[in-house]
Structure 1
Amino acid sequence: MTSGEWAGRRVCVAGAGVSGRAAARVLAERGARVTLVEGRDGPEQRAHAAELEARGVTVRLGDGETLPEGTNLVVISPGWRPDAPLPAAAAAAGIETYGEVELAWRLRPAGAAPWLAITGTDGKTTVVRMLASILAAAGHDALAVGNVGTPIVEAVLEKHDVLAVELSSYQLYWSSSLAPLAAAVLNVAPDHLDWHGSMDAYIAAKAKIFGPGAGGTGDGAGPEGTLAVYNADDPVSAGLAEAARRRVGFTLGMPRPGTLGVVEDLLVDRALVGDPEREAAELAGLHDVRPFAPHNVANALAAAALARAYGVPPEAVREGLRAFVPDPHRIQHVAEIGGVTYINDSKATQPHAAAASLAAYESIVWIAGGLLKGLEVDELVRSCAGRLRGVVLLGRDRARIAEALARHAPDIPVVDVADTDTGAMDRVVNEAAALAEPGDTVLLAPVGASFDMFANYPARGDAFIAAVRRLPGAGPAGALPDGGGPR
């Protein structure tokens, strides 16, 4: 839509988070009559309200349920469930409702940067940052946006060569016309089912990343539609790409024509080359992937596929992966003390992520627990039982993990830490250290969310790092990694 088409339009922006405030600002600048609604009413919200009101936005705090009178469009923040009172009222009244990502797509000016989009249950942020690093290594002005970094509704109005866009299932649910140049579904496993209502609904939201009708030719996609990048080792991801006009797979196995994969110790492209039947391009070595773990190799292949879809040469993939600095709390090497390695993967907040982390190590003292959000852990415990030397449990749902361990790993020693005070992580780490022997890995891969004991998963990871630093034999704190440099 052009700026003139917004003038006078009555828009309700639901939610005063980063994306909601950005949407309100951009719409007000285009002459829309914007009312932002937010259920919270605290000092932070009032400060944001004052800034928005100075820009002509009407702000209503303390009521996030009532639809403003006269509204003819709702732009909704991604966390809002469709059955919440406000979007439900909009749906009942036939008022169009979509999210900030969809708004950004519709606001793109002529010649706007193409999108390389990423979704998946796990690995999204890692892949979008890997992708941005690869694009930068190729000399492109690339920006990581969407579920990370700059609000996408602002980024699309700036001058960039290309956008690396991370999209959650919530953002995709509230979208309808996206058609990226290329898009990847990294993996799909049960998550956020309390929000979506069913696994089928969760999968349907993920599928929207491949464009209308899977590979639609909307403005921004290639002439034959969005290139669908799928995980050939993940049946759901592969199934979602079947309807796409063009698709490229990635696999941890040997690549066949049309896929990227691994040949001995090399990442190889047999898809985005001149003749996939007879040609292959060497992209990088396994040692170029940091931190090294099987699922992170898959992340690197997905990032490489998207970059290659944009025309990046093979040498830039290697340079970008080498330059990539992983975010903390994702398979983060914390220390090696007495021959025992301590790894912080606090971001592993559901079974699929924890399984990938556990698969990276041979002999593990596992620290697990937290809020399981209704997810089952039996298959996870069954799959990793042979790697476990011991388990230390913490958090609200630790009993459910203990029950699964009793069923599938009855001979593994389990220590239950019921404490929830500020010293709880010290007790957990000390118990884990007591179970570990030289050559073992003490792995924080909690499988549960952190909110029962911590503000968020970074706070849980920071507590783990601090507790490891206090272990006997750790030496001075400065001798250990600083928490931001996974190996």
Structure 2
Amino acid sequence: MGSGQVTSSVPFEFQGKHVTVAGLGVSGVPAAKVLHGLGARVTVVNDGDDARAREQAAELEALGVTVRLGDGATLPEGTELIVTAPGWKPDKPLFTAAEAAGVPVWGDVELAWRLRGPGAADWLAVTGTNGKTTTVRMLASILGAAGLRTAAVGNIGVSLLDAVLGEEEYDVLAVELSSYQLHWAPSLRAHSAAVLNLAPDHLDWHGSMEAYARDKGRVYEGNRVACVYNADATAKPSTEDLVREADVEEGCRAVGFTLGTPGPSQLGVVEGILVDRAFVENRQKNAQELAEVSDVDPPAPHNIANALAAAALARAYGVPASAVRDGLRAFTPDDHRIAHVADVDGVAYIDDSKATNTHAAQASLAAYESVVWIAGGLAKGATFDELVTGAAKRLRGAVLVGRDRALIREALARHAPEVPVVDLDRTDTGAMLQAVQEAQRLARPGDTVLLAPACASMDMFTNYNKRGDAFAQAVRELGA
């Protein structure tokens, strides 16, 4: 783990500057409004030119913002800064032109970081392939239990710009950050940060696993107190490797979390108790009890890991052990994250629509002994051999839906040929009801029908929430 004093961000004077905002939507519109309010001359460029985009454009143009729809490739003349929506790929012609012209590119996270005022709240940052939202919400619950003014922000809940510029004052922020956001946030320097795990995801955006991991690892740059990593991770590069490569402030510590017995400078589990051997006196000999495994909802292995990571960040901020326990007890998981929908004829139906990649689906499948698996959607460049190999002994059957289901079917044929597979050749939203009916036919009392698609949802649904809602509705129809 490198060291070196980190300097603060160089101030950027927005008054009179020509700033181009790349992309409308949930981050572009607020960014354009904020920049216009700061006195910048704002031009918004957007690839799409649909009804929603025109509505947003009209709203901005009424303020005096210039909007160019259907033209996101050309760098507007005189641009001095680009603020981009996180989903825009780095290889877009707009950014190539910006690099050639020496124009900096920020994301909305970088903009929020630069706009913090004197005495701004510290950021406790969380990234990783899976578990980010749950961990951040657990962390906010723990911080709140300690009496701190806090919010879950970033890629979740309150927008970072609102948190930074709004009237509400915070002591500390629990910040969820995606790899996209970190790619465009070169100046971010968190109090402490965690990378929960690393598995292939969004490789179509980043270009390679190495580039994806490098962007995740940016969250550790300049950390002041703790870099929290997954001590159980076996993937390469590991989250610990990213800590070693990070340039942090003098005195910043590497703190691991493990589902096993923790060593010094780690948090872990001993006989059903979450314990801390990192933020205690004489950590070579002492440990602090934080909470019981039963305080974590649900107490599945990957969720216990989330709780340990949240606890580590909270402890790095000085939160007492009692607040970790109280915060975890008060936490309730979001919908579509291993949510128990119903039991029908002795079969449990579980909605984990949030499992949009293979790593998340692997954790979900590992939580149950005998599973009828509903999977499929947009693969995002993923392969499924490792996932199927690890889950094969647990599979009673599989029901496949969505555009890229053939990739999963072929992996099942290679590595679990004895598992019965129903391949539904349809991508309409009504396919979910048929999928649940087919899963019921395959299931036996004591089994779990698990929606853990290992794929994104946009081929059939607006988002994973809508997919989970369709699954739950189909299950309710079975029960009726």
Q: If the length of structure 1 is used for normalisation, what is the TM-score?
A: 0.92
Write the deviation string for residues 237-260 of structure 1: whole angstroms up to 9, x where unpaired: 111112454111101111111000
For residue 266 of structure 1, report the CA deviation from its aligned partner: 0.9
Which of 140, 150, 172 aligns to 1:132? It is: 140
Which of 389, 397, 405 aligns to 1:382? It is: 389
Which residue in the other structure is 2:216 paired with? 206
- Give yes or no for the alignment of 1:82 onto 2:84: no
- Give yes or no for the alignment of 1:167 onto 2:177: yes
Which residue in the other structure is 2:291 paired with? 284
1:406-485 to structure 2, matched below 5 A, reads 406-471=413-478, 474-475=479-480
- Give yes or no for the alignment of 1:349 onto 2:356: yes
CA pair 4-182 structure 1, distance change in 2 beyond 3 A: closer
Kept in 2, the 8 Å contact 1:347–1:458? The answer is: yes
Relative to structure 2, which stretch is displaced further, 338-347 or 445-454?
A: 445-454
Write the deviation string for residues 210-256 of structure 1: whole angstroms up to 9, x where unpaired: 01xxxx2xxxx5xxx35200000114111111245411110111111
Kept in 2, the 8 Å contact 1:3–1:30? The answer is: no
1:399-410 to structure 2, matched below 5 A, reads 399-410=406-417
- Give yes or no for the alignment of 1:393 onto 2:395: no
- Give yes or no for the alignment of 1:233 onto 2:232: yes
Give me the whole-angstrom Cα distance separating, in 2, the residues matched to 1:2 and 1:53.
30
Give me the whole-angstrom Cα distance separating, in 2, the residues matched to 1:369 and 1:41.
30
Which residue in the other structure is 2:5 paired with? none
- Could you tell me which amino acid in structure 2 is paired with residue 199 of structure 1? M
Which residue in the other structure is 2:21 paired with? 13
Which of 97, 102, 123 aligns to 1:94? It is: 102
- Could you tell me which amino acid in structure 2 is paired with residue 465 of structure 1? A
- Give yes or no for the alignment of 1:262 onto 2:261: no
Q: SS where residue 447 of structure 1 aligns?
A: coil
Write the deviation string for residues 408-445 of structure 1: whole angstroms up to 9, x where unpaired: 11211112222334432122111111111111111111
- Give yes or no for the alignment of 1:104 onto 2:112: yes
Give me the whole-angstrom Cα distance separating, in 2, the residues matched to 1:3 and 1:447.
42
For residue 48 of structure 1, report the CA deviation from its aligned partner: 2.5
Relative to structure 2, which stretch is displaced further, 117-126 or 371-380?
A: 371-380
CA pair 6-280 structure 1, distance change in 2 beyond 3 A: same
Write the deviation string for residues 384-418 of structure 1: whole angstroms up to 9, x where unpaired: 11111111111222222122112211211112222
Give me the whole-angstrom Cα distance separating, in 1, the residues matched to 2:335 and 2:190.
29
Which of 177, 180, 185 aligns to 2:187? It is: 177
For residue 72 of structure 1, report the CA deviation from its aligned partner: 0.8
Give me the whole-angstrom Cα distance separating, in 1, the residues matched to 2:25 and 2:402.
28
Give me the whole-angstrom Cα distance separating, in 1, the residues matched to 2:225 and 2:113.
14
Which residue in the other structure is 1:298 paired with? 305
Kept in 1, the 8 Å contact 2:202–2:381? The answer is: no
Relative to structure 2, which stretch is displaced further, 329-338 or 37-46?
A: 37-46
- Could you tell me which amino acid in structure 2 is paired with residue 48 of structure 1? Q
- Give yes or no for the alignment of 1:191 onto 2:190: no
Write the deviation string for residues 336-386 of structure 1: whole angstroms up to 9, x where unpaired: 112110001111111111000000001111111112122110111100111
- Could you tell me which amino acid in structure 1 is paired with residue 177 of structure 2? L
Kept in 2, the 8 Å contact 1:270–1:279? The answer is: yes
CA pair 400-128 structure 1, distance change in 2 beyond 3 A: same
Kept in 2, the 8 Å contact 1:26–1:154? The answer is: no
Q: How many residues align?
A: 462
In structure 1, stretches of 5+ residues that fail to align are 476-487
For residue 4 of structure 1, report the CA deviation from its aligned partner: 8.5
Which of 43, 48, 51 aligns to 2:51? It is: 43
1:25-36 to structure 2, matched below 5 A, reads 25-36=33-44
Kept in 2, the 8 Å contact 1:394–1:418? The answer is: yes
Give me the whole-angstrom Cα distance separating, in 1, the residues matched to 2:87 and 2:225.
26
Q: SS where residue 431 of structure 1 aligns?
A: helix
Relative to structure 2, which stretch is displaced further, 365-374 or 187-196?
A: 365-374
Which residue in the other structure is 2:4 paired with? none
Kept in 2, the 8 Å contact 1:4–1:30? The answer is: no
Write the deviation string for residues 184-228 of structure 1: whole angstroms up to 9, x where unpaired: 0000000111111111111110110001xxxx2xxxx5xxx3520
The alignment's C-alpha RMSD in Å is 1.6
Which residue in the other structure is 2:149 paired with? 141
Which of 368, 384, 389 aligns to 2:375? It is: 368
Give me the whole-angstrom Cα distance separating, in 2, the residues matched to 1:391 and 1:3.
55
For residue 3 of structure 1, report the CA deviation from its aligned partner: 8.7
Kept in 1, the 8 Å contact 2:21–2:32? The answer is: yes
Give me the whole-angstrom Cα distance separating, in 2, the residues matched to 1:376 and 1:70.
44
Give me the whole-angstrom Cα distance separating, in 2, the residues matched to 1:392 and 1:282.
43
CA pair 3-258 structure 1, distance change in 2 beyond 3 A: closer
Write the deviation string for residues 99-122 of structure 1: whole angstroms up to 9, x where unpaired: 111111111111100000010000
Task: Give the percent of matched residue pairs that are identical in Structure 1 and Structure 2.
Answer: 64
For residue 95 of structure 1, report the CA deviation from its aligned partner: 0.8
Relative to structure 2, which stretch is displaced further, 74-83 or 392-401?
A: 392-401
- Could you tell me which amino acid in structure 1 is paired with residue 13 of structure 2? E
Which residue in the other structure is 2:335 paired with? 328
- Give yes or no for the alignment of 1:317 onto 2:327: no
CA pair 388-297 structure 1, distance change in 2 beyond 3 A: same
For residue 293 of structure 1, report the CA deviation from its aligned partner: 1.0
- Could you tell me which amino acid in structure 1 is paired with residue 159 of structure 2? P
